[in-house]
Amino acid sequence: MSTTFQLDTSTSRANPTPAPMKRLTVPMIRRRKVDGVTAEPLVMLTAYTARQAQLLDAHCDILLVGDSLGQVIYGLPSTIPVTLRMMADHAAAVVRGSYHSVVVVDMPFGSYEASKEQAFESASLLLKESGAAAVKLEGGEAMAETVAFLNRRGIPVMGHVGLTPQAVNVLGGYAARGRSGAEADKIVSDAKALDEAGAFAIVIEGVVEPIAIAATESVACPTIGIGASARCDGQVLVTEDMLGMFDRVPRFVKKYEDIAAVIENTVKRYAAEVRDRSFPGEEQTYQPK
């Protein structure tokens, strides 16, 4: 574990505090791939809150503050409405709750596409206000110049190719990409362009497996798959998806637990005890001395 616990006497809560553990860095992540091989795959999960970060931190190399928080936290229909303010606030919480993982924050739709200068302004705001180590943006060759611009100015960038959720209105949905020859070639060329522009890692999402493998083999930086291939240099999932918080998830998600059922059953027990007046009991109340 990356944390021990201290009792906060003002709230009676046991708050995790950092145990000695050096935080990973962007160059460390980049160096995990040597001569095209990543001996130990990178582990990445999404995190949106300090407590979630505390629980995930010791087991992950990267915590992604994803714009998926729009759907997971705010109940929005897509990632499109997510704002810089949302991303900065949640990223700051994740940084405060972690001591080991590299924290990467998504740049939301509309915050970087207009120009390199707009991207720098948005990215610098996110890093300054949150303390995160890097940003992630979607797009391949079209964003390569922006990635290089940010990288030269001290902002590490993680790329994202294949199924890019911010482009859902152009793509027409969330179907897997790379089924046609032209689309497959573009995904590989997009990954190469981002790699050459200085991206320290690239997410490959929703891509047919042979294309994900080809893209991974074509770049020097690590690739992180989601609905791609075990032969990518790492993997990422939305944490709430893999914990079973939602009834419906993409086909590439493996549900490792059914936390939704645990919560529902626990709340059901609580409600029953409140209604039959067995809670609170003597242990949960203050009696005269």
Active site residues: 205
CA 22 vs CA 28, 161, 207, 251, 272: distances in Å: 12, 30, 34, 36, 46
**Binding site, annotated residues:** 67-68, 106, 136, 138
Tokens 């032209």, residue located: 182
Whether residue 86 contacts residue 70, with contact meaning beta carbons closer than 8 Å, is answered with: yes
Whether residue 178 contacts residue 154, with contact meaning beta carbons closer than 8 Å, is answered with: no
Whether residue 228 contacts residue 212, with contact meaning beta carbons closer than 8 Å, is answered with: yes
**Binding site, annotated residues for 3-methyl-2-oxobutanoate:** 67-68, 106, 136
Give the 3-state secondary structure of residue 75. coil
Tokens 């972690």, residue located: 98
**Binding site, annotated residues for Mg(2+):** 67, 106, 138
Q: How far apart are CA 271 and CA 129, in angstroms?
A: 40
Name the DSSP class of 288: P
> Which residues are CB-neighbours of 48 under 8 A, at least 6 positions away?
65, 66, 69, 72, 73, 90, 93, 94
